[in-house]
Structure 1
Amino acid sequence: MKKKYLIASAAVIMLSCGSSNKTSTSSTTTKTETVSKSTNNVNFYAETITEAELKADLMIYASDEFEGRLTGQPGQKKAVEFLKKRYIDLNIPAAKSDGNYFQDVPLEIAKSPEATLTINDSKFELGHDYVSVLSSDSGTINTNEVVFAGFGIEDEAYSDYSSVDITGQVVLLKSGEPQKADGTYIISGTSEASEWSNFRKEMTLKRDIAREKGAKAVLFYAPKDYKNAVKRFGNSNGRITLQDKKEQLYFFLIDTKLATAILPNIEKTQKQATIKTTFNLDYKKVNEEIHSENVAAFIKGTDKADEVIVVSAHLDHEGIKNGEIYNGADDDGSGTVALLEIAEAFKMAKNNGQGPRRSILFLHVTGEEKGLLGSKYYSDIDPIIPLEETMVDLNIDMIGRTDPKRKSDNRNYIYLIGSDKLSTDLHNLSEQVNTSCCNIELDYTFNDDNDPNRFYYRSDHYNFAKNNIPVIFYFNGTHDDYHKPTDTPDKIEYDLLENRTRLVFYTAWELANREAKITADKVAE
């Protein structure tokens, strides 16, 4: 355990907030003053977050010993053991009720399945005429009918399932949504299409509805998006995904040749029907199962313990490529060590009888670089803390460097993303906290809804935001060493890392101890 300061109940020491320039760390070796248990002295605890301790942790965490922390590989196992030991040394308990700091995240390395498909004695080729989207178990289907369920929509304004039963059936669906004769959309009631016409969203929605209604297999016809789908799913070898533990479902995107072999007039047909056709599928799954871990520690609140603040960072990186280790010091070693320092500061306050009023979950997630997999597993499958009790997520991903493309000479900045997307209150609080403590330039460049980089969707906060949980994403932007073996600890600007970590701490402190609960006044997109 790192030794910090002895906390008793004698004198009150008032300390300054983080400076806008390089902050001296000399106090970390001389400070032995005590803090009154009756004083809610946030500044004292913020000052315990120092360059020196951030650097000490990062020099270990982003060292060659950790082999680039590739998801599911030995280096990542060393990383989670390091985090576990740090929380044990800090005497911060595990978040899980069984005392285990690790939340197992079942993954698999996707490999193209082996499959043969014939329809009416015509053979169709996997990867050309159809692509497998879900990783399904090995099995066969032999049937003499396919149910056409139109657009596959189940909505208050419209349903394709009112006249068909798809239990145990092979189901044919097509993309898009119905329109009236005047061109307006039935679901929206306007000339604007709804989410049922957004390929990424509709594919997920239609898949899940068909699964809930008992379909055995789904053939999804989306001709405008099929070529891109083939590029994405046609050769998935090596792609790491979550293991799908839901009800078994074969889900295929299909091309026009296959769709018209079942229903020749599918483009113009909307009426649901059971089509007499022979359908024979032999499917063999060849994926390799692997396992990874989220690391979760927890400080229980006092009088508002059922309202929980999540502070998150991802623990993984790119591993070793062509013999070179991708250390990931900024991405996201910087966020990882920041999270440890914030946790330690809150634990010191807890030990001294100074809150927090609300509980805090310190969540290190795996598989971010593979598609936000650890946070997706947490939010969609096995939340340790019920999502309805989760008030906000503060996500830290790359806060140790500067963006060379940024058009400003002020290096003391941070990009904030998402703070106003769901909660006006959270955004205002964030601004006020920064003004009172840190005076960092808050840059909202990448918060624009039209940001071509789509950073809002590219880090772990998004899996909370999509569930209408307010978020803030703290980010320094990319740089020349982003996702390269040159992202090493010596490149980190530790004074900035200290200031930014303190900002997150101050924000979390205010969220944890204010009287009013942060709520979402907007709806997730």
Structure 2
Amino acid sequence: MKSRFMKTTSVLAFVAALSLSAQAGEKAEFSKENAVEVIKTLSADDMQGRGTGTEGNAKARAYLMDKLKAMKLEPLDGTYEYPFDFTVKRRNGDELSLSAVNLLFRIKGSDSGGKSIVISAHYDHVGVRGGEIFNGADDNASGVAGLLAAAEHFQKHPPKHDVIFALFDAEEVGLQGARAFVKEIPEAAGDVAFNINFDMLSRSDKNELYAAGAYHTAALKPVIEKVAAAAPVKLLMGHDDPKLGSNDWTLQSDHGPFHREGIPFLYFGVEDHPHYHRPSDDFETVPIDFFMRSIETVVMAAEAIDDDLGQITK
């Protein structure tokens, strides 16, 4: 049995304090309690690491669908579920066929002009390996919590543009969910002009969150700088230059397929840490303070992208 590093009561007390501060008028409006519940539930042992095609993955998806319904979020085109099939090669050369399901919903904009923004986060993780559960709290239950926080914010502050929220499956086996989406973008999604992707938002000993994408879309730089000036974390630009080799994140998460299709992106994530793709990536090891401030930052950024989309994409 895993050891538990944080008392539930202390987490709840911390969240209650944050909720009181939210009433003072912070820029990003979302439920801190809801964000904690999402990351804790998705990274619990009974989700079995949320590996694509597993019972744990299906359980996570069912939980998320219940959450979307409870939040009264509109399915993209009458349904949340968009299934797809794909084949991957194993290390021994054998091919493995899998079925997966993306979850899509929408908040309509006030004056979109036909253009839409996709906010994405993957809900799958790597499952069980060697008898150990890889719960994936940071990777990427944290990003899912960030996406739902952005949805809460835009429910209270309607966006200018249609915002399509994409909870992608099968990221961990080759960005398959995002690839399936961009290969056949649903007509109801409109003219997808931009992708904002959240992947690993919840832990940084340096209090740092990276925004990648300005190298490829120079018009993003002043937008990111504006957000960084007000952000409650240290928001840095980087990890998007091809000269960086493996430290170039341009194609390393679900924004990659959008980039390949010529759709500009902004990716938010932390640098790798000792818990990355390890069984220790549990809710109990997540620094809740940074997690909350990170989510606040990405929600602020999503609103800034919506405000300045015309300038960014012209």
TM range (shorter): 0.7 to 0.9
Alignment of 1:97-136 (within 5 A): 97=77, 99-108=78-87, 110=89
CA distance in 1, matches of 2:254, 2:286: 22
For the 8 Å contact 2:38–2:141, the answer to whether it is kept is no
1:203-235 deviation per Cα after TM superposition (whole angstroms, max 9, x unaligned): xxxxxxxxxxxxxxxxxxxxxxxxxxxxx7xx3
Q: CA deviation at 1:102?
A: 0.8
Between the aligned partners of 1:24 and 1:438, the Cα distance in structure 2 is 19
CA–CA distance in structure 1, aligned partners of residues 313 and 98 of structure 2: 38
Matches within 5 A, 1:15-414: 25-26=16-17, 28=19, 46-50=28-32, 52-95=33-76, 97=77, 99-108=78-87, 110=89, 235-237=92-94, 240=96, 289-304=97-112, 306-349=114-157, 355-380=158-183, 382-384=184-186, 389-402=191-204, 411-414=206-209
Q: How many residues align?
A: 300
CA distance in 2, matches of 1:65, 1:305: 44
- Distance in 1 of aligned mates of 2:292 and 2:187: 29
Gaps of 5+ in 2: 1-13
- The structure with more helix, counted as a fraction of residues: 2
8 Å Cα contact 2:112-2:162 kept in structure 1? yes
Deviation per CA, 1:334-361, whole angstroms, max 9, x where unpaired? Answer: 1011111111121123xxxxx2111111
- 436, 442, 447: which one aligns with 2:235: 442
Q: CA deviation at 1:450?
A: 1.6
TM-score (norm 2): 0.87
Aligned-residue offset at 1:513: 3.4
Instruction: Indicate if the aligned counterparts of 2:22 and 2:29 stay in contact, CA closer than 8 A.
Output: no
**How far has the Cα of 1:397 moved from its partner?**
0.6
**Aligned counterpart, 1:518:** 312
RMSD: 2.5
Q: Percent identity among equivalent residues?
A: 26
CA contact (8 A) 1:49 1:501 kept: no
Letter in 2 for 1:100: T
Using the alignment, how far apart are the partners of 1:91 and 1:445 within structure 2? 36
C-alpha distance in structure 1 between counterparts of 2:189 and 2:213, whole Å: 18
TM-superposed CA distance for 1:65, in Å, is: 1.1
Instruction: Give the Cα separation in 1 of the matches to 2:154 and 2:272.
Output: 30
- 1:397 and 1:475 in contact (8 A); partners too: yes
Cα deviation for residue 365 of structure 1 reads 0.6
Contact 2:164 2:189 in 1 (8 A): no
- 2:11 is aligned to none
Name the CA distance, whole Å, in 2 between partners of 1:439 and 1:324: 35
Shift of 1:441: 2.3
Question: In 2, Cα distance between the equivalents of 1:425 and 1:459?
Answer: 22
State the Cα distance separating 1:389 from its structure 2 match: 1.3
Matches for 1:408-487 after TM superposition, within 5 Å: 411-421=206-216, 423-435=217-229, 437-438=230-231, 440-453=233-246, 454-487=248-281
Alpha-carbon offset, residue 504 of structure 1: 1.5
TM (normalized to structure 1)? 0.53
